[in-house]
Chain A
Amino acid sequence: ETGVTQTPRHLVMGMTNKKSLKCEQHLGHNAMYWYKQSAKKPLELMFVYNFKEQTENNSVPSRFSPECPNSSHLFLHLHTLQPEDSALYLCASSQVPRGSLYEQYFGPGTRLTVT
């Protein structure tokens, strides 16, 4: 595997379900990000992890819970979601603060549908 991978690619879940999204980066980066992409809206940054520590939580509802066990893996745990949470969830990684600052590499995303 190369680059940034995400699983699953598609997920349909009910509002009472609990599921997790997984992201893995094979680039040796030290920062990872979760974004939400909704139709007709800019990418919304949800969480930032640097050296496994969460450095950002952009007022994301508690029904989204991130986990970063090491610098290569990032999870997004989901529970009791709402239909408006349906979106494409993108993971990205970068090497900060050295290297190409801000140069982020994205995974293919998980298309989430909440029914």
Chain B
Amino acid sequence: ENVEQHPSTLSVQEGDSAVIKCTYSDSASNYFPWYKQELGKGPQLIIDIRSNVGEKKDQRIAVTLNKTAKHFSLHITETQPEDSAVYFCAAPEGTTDSWGKLQFGAGTQVVVTP
């Protein structure tokens, strides 16, 4: 599995929306999590989506999945300074593996300016 993430950095004004996109290579992949990593902390799971749905929302964040195009995106609306962090997408390394191995994207540094 190869996971590509874009952009590598994203600057937005407070209140605007931010979108991060990831593509994956294994069409059998069925689980797509997003992690947020703040400075000095480990990655924190913020939202995930499984292949049987196309969109999932949780307050100001949402994830969309396009299985045909093999890409999924993170959407953050009404951004706030506390949304500033590095965001990682991930996809499973194979669906037959039961040990939960994930392949991560390179990360997106999001900076929200007041």
Decide: A43 near B42, CB < 8 A? Known: A48-B99, A50-B99, A96-B98. Answer: no
Tell yes or no: B45 within 8 A of A by CB. Answer: yes
Query: Which chain B residues border A113 with CB–CB below 8 Å?
Result: none
Q: How far is the CA of A104 from the CA of B42 in the complex (A)?
A: 11
CB <8 Å contact, B101 and A101: no
Contact A108:B42 (CB < 8 A) given known A48-B101, A102-B92: yes
Q: B44, A106: Cβ atoms under 8 Å?
A: yes
Min Cβ gap A8→B in Å is 14
When chains A and B are docked, how far (Å) is the Cα of A102 from the Cα of B103?
11
- A-side contacts of B42, CB under 8 Å: 4, 6, 90, 92, 106-109
Binary CB contact string for chain B from 29 to 60 against chain A (1 if under 8 A, 0 otherwise)? 00101010000111111001000000000000
- Interface flags for A72-115 (1: CB within 8 Å of B; 0: not) read 00000000000000000010101011000111111111000000
